Amino acid sequence: MPLDDELRRLTDEAAIYRALTAYCHGIDRRDLELVRSVYHPGAVDHHTGFDGPVEEFIEWVGPVLGKLGGTMHTLGNHRVELFGDHAMSETYATATHWGRDSSDLGSNFTTGVRYVDHFERRNGRWAIAERFAVREWLRTEGDRLTGVAPRTDEDPTRTFRSQLEQLTTEGNTSC
């Protein structure tokens, strides 16, 4: 494969992977605008407990996340097949969920999932056109899982981003 083609493939795969990590970050930090940004308008999501347009998925997932103390999604194996401006991506993930209330043991579980995504490049941007979240396994946690990191504006990622944006705005990009 010529170097230009190989570089394009790597760039496309990296853009797709960035969208996947943005999705996980958005879900875990309850940043629904970030979650929305990884889908194209009119995209469809097939998730455990939901099946329909992404606009409705965003409306559905917000209250679901609000009932939890937190989640942590970790991506594993990731595979992309490119077909011009379309791609099929299969990504393994482990997602841990914990409840707000110590008596709500039903909210404490870890699940193995595969995200099987149809990505499209529209106007130079890769985003999800259709997603299947395929649950492979589920382990309920008999004990209370305790999340200690707050889901607030004081999260370190928001603090660093704000500081770095300010540095960039001021024209000082050296550290």
What's the structural domain count of the chain?
A: 1
Q: Is residue 117 part of a domain?
A: yes
Q: Is the pLDDT of residue 130 over 90?
A: yes
Distance between start and end Cα atoms, the chain: 38
**What does pLDDT average to over the chain?**
89
Residue 167 confidence (pLDDT): 80
pTM comes to: 0.84
Using alpha carbons, select from 57, 37, 38, 39 the residue that is nearest to residue 47.
Answer: 57
Q: Is the pLDDT of residue 152 over 80?
A: no
Q: Is residue 118 part of a domain?
A: yes
What does the alpha-carbon distance between residue 128 and residue 36 come to, in Å, rounded to a whole number?
Answer: 10
Q: Residue 60: give its domain's CATH number.
A: 3.10.450.50
Q: Is residue 124 part of a domain?
A: yes
* Tokens standing for residue 2: 């010529």
Token match 């995200």: residue?
A: 115
107 touches 68 (CB < 8 A)? yes
39-47 β-sheet, strand order: 50-53, 39-47, 125-140, 109-122, 86-99, 68-83
Q: Is residue 51 part of a domain?
A: yes
Residue 140 confidence (pLDDT): 84
pLDDT range class, residue 149, cuts 50, 70, 90: low
Residue 125 confidence (pLDDT): 98
> Which residue range(s) make up the domain with 119?
3-169
> HSE (CB half, 13 Å, CA atoms) of 36?
12
Residue 94 confidence (pLDDT): 97
Q: Is the pLDDT of residue 143 over 70?
A: no
Q: Is residue 175 part of a domain?
A: no
Neighbour count for residue 127 (Cβ, 10 Å): 22
Q: Is the pLDDT of residue 171 over 90?
A: no
Q: Is residue 174 part of a domain?
A: no
Q: Is residue 119 part of a domain?
A: yes
Express each pLDDT in 72-129 by its tens digit.
999 999 999 999 999 999 999 999 998 887 666 678 899 999 999 999 999 999 999 9
Express each pLDDT in 10-43 by its tens digit.
999 999 999 999 999 999 999 999 999 999 999 9
Residue 145 confidence (pLDDT): 56
